[in-house]
Amino acid sequence: MMKRNEHGHIWLDKVQAYVCPSYLNKDNTDFSDESSESSYKLYQKYYGGSTNGIKSEIRSMIFKLIEKDNYKKRNLIKALREQYPKVSSNIICRIIKNYLNLRVLEIDRTYKTKPFIIKGKYYVT
């Protein structure tokens, strides 16, 4: 029985990582030869280290935090950094900045002294 994660990727003991089943072929399923292992490491170098999983978690957490309470931009970043201490603050700031540029998030200008982050015009559930 193969160990799988929530995305359906298969755990391989040889490389100590989850691998997409579509990447595996019938000849090199266990990375027994040198060329398949080196190609996997090359793949991991450019694509495997991405934090798309954690980024999607951060994106969903932004909206959960906004629904619960009012946050100014800096306080929202601080709350997210406390939730995800291993993630660089640059990633969190970039996600918020991109959402603000796309107007998925907006800064509420109703009151001058309370510039809270709110769901924007182009927020889609």
Q: Domain segments of the chain: what residues?
A: 10-48, 52-119
Task: Please tell me the distance from the alpha carbon of residue 102 to that of residue 36, in angstroms, as a whole number.
Answer: 41
**CATH number for region 52-119:** 1.10.10
Query: Is 69 a residue whose pLDDT tops 60?
Result: yes
pLDDT value of residue 53: 73
Quote the mean pLDDT of the chain.
79
This prediction has a pTM of 0.58
Q: Mean per-residue pLDDT for 27-49? A: 58
Cβ–Cβ < 8 Å for 73, 84: no
Query: Is 26 a residue whose pLDDT tops 50?
Result: no
